[in-house]
């Protein structure tokens, strides 16, 4: 039984939200090319059904994005797995910044793998719900903040890795500036319909930029709500 299921009976799930449903999702992710055992193990354990509205819980282990209110979505499990894999491929980061807390699911995945996660969300109501979930699941290594995440979290910079989970028109300079030497940033960039997942590495002789795959994310917006 996973650590979450031991702590919290509702994390165990039933029928469409059971361990069997999570296991089937993992099989599918493996078939789709996810290879990192650390990532697969976390997704196998983490109760995604507790990060969405109860009315949608039976769909929690479909490999699809789902609405979380305020016009926002919880990312598709494949995308969460792939972005996490890409972020930790070279080295396991110690301190990670996430921009776009949303449901808190991606953040909980990261918190299960690294020492400390910092997450920023611009919509207060979503952030409140995510914080409640972190508490319930006993995830004590997450600090969260209601702000425009395009500015990063300057007081806590630099970060070993930064993950952006909403698509901006361009890479945010402020975020690149908060990467530690050898740090990695993963972000979707581009207009709706033409977004690409980018990985940027902060090397001794400048930024190294790789285009990984076409993706579809909600937009990175300015200000707070
Ligand atoms: N990582 C989330 C994905 C949620 S969708 C999850 O696992 O559920 C992206 C989120 O980014 C939305 O909640 C949206 O409100 C938020 N967002 C968009 N622009 C932002 C900004 N400038 N700063 C912080 N959060 C932002």
User: Ligand 1 centroid to 118 CA: how many Å?
Assistant: 13
Q: Yes or no: say if 179 and 203 are a contact pair by the CB < 8 Å rule.
A: no
Q: Please identify which of the residues 2, 18, 75, 216 carries the catalytic annotation.
A: 75
pLDDT (0 to 100) of residue 128: 98
Tell me, using a 6 A CB cutoff, whether residue 72 lines ligand 1: yes
Tell me, using a 6 A CB cutoff, whether residue 148 lines ligand 1: yes
Tell me, using a 6 A CB cutoff, whether residue 74 lines ligand 1: yes
pLDDT (0 to 100) of residue 165: 98
Alpha carbon distance 173, 55 (integer Å): 39
pLDDT (0 to 100) of residue 2: 87
User: Ligand 1 centroid to 69 CA: how many Å?
Assistant: 12
Tell me, using a 6 A CB cutoff, whether residue 29 lines ligand 1: no
| Spans of the chain, pLDDT less than 70 | none
pLDDT (0 to 100) of residue 205: 86
Tell me: the pLDDT tens digits for 100-130? 999 999 999 999 999 999 999 999 999 999 9
Angle between helices 37-45 and 77-88 (to 10 degrees): 140
pLDDT (0 to 100) of residue 1: 80
User: Ligand 1 centroid to 114 CA: how many Å?
Assistant: 20
**What phi, psi does 200 have (nearest 5°)?**
-120, 130
User: Ligand 1 centroid to 92 CA: how many Å?
Assistant: 23
Residue 75 annotated among the catalytic residues of the structure: yes
Taking the CA of residue 225 as reference, the ligand 1 atom at the shortest distance is 15
Tell me, using a 6 A CB cutoff, whether residue 199 lines ligand 1: no
Q: Yes or no: say if 86 and 199 are a contact pair by the CB < 8 Å rule.
A: yes
pLDDT (0 to 100) of residue 110: 98
pLDDT (0 to 100) of residue 203: 84
Tell me, using a 6 A CB cutoff, whether residue 168 lines ligand 1: no
Kindly indicate whether the domain formed by 65-215 is annotated with CATH number 3.40.50.150. Answer: yes
Q: Yes or no: say if 198 and 188 are a contact pair by the CB < 8 Å rule.
A: yes
Alpha carbon distance 114, 100 (integer Å): 18
Q: Is the pTM of this model over 0.95?
A: yes
Nearest CA to ligand 1 atom 4: 102
Taking the CA of residue 109 as reference, the ligand 1 atom at the shortest distance is 7
pLDDT (0 to 100) of residue 13: 94
């Amino acid at each position: 039984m996973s650590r979450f299921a031991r702590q919290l009976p509702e994390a165990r799930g039933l029928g469409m939200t059971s361990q069997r449903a999570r296991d089937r999702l993992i099989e599918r992710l493996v078939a789709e090319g996810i290879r990192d055992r650390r990532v697969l193990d976390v997704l196998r354990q983490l109760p995604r059904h507790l990060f969405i509205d109860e009315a949608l819980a039976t769909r929690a282990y479909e490999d699809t994005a789902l609405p979380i209110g305020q016009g926002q979505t919880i990312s598709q499990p494949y995308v969460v797995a792939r972005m996490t894999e890409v972020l930790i491929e070279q080295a396991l980061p110690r301190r990670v910044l996430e921009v776009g807390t949303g449901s808190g699911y991606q953040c909980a995945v990261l918190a299960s793998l690294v020492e400390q996660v910092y997450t920023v969300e611009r919509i207060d109501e979503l952030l409140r719900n995510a914080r409640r979930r972190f508490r319930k699941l006993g995830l004590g290594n997450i600090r969260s903040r209601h702000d425009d995440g395009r500015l990063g979290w300057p007081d806590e910079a630099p970060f070993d890795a930064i993950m952006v989970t909403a698509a901006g028109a361009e890479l945010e300079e402020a975020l690149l500036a908060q990467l530690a030497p050898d740090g990695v940033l993963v972000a979707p960039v581009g207009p709706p319909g033409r977004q690409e997942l980018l990985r940027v590495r902060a090397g001794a002789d400048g930024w190294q930029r790789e285009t990984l795959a076409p993706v579809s994310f909600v937009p990175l917006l300015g200000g707070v709500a």
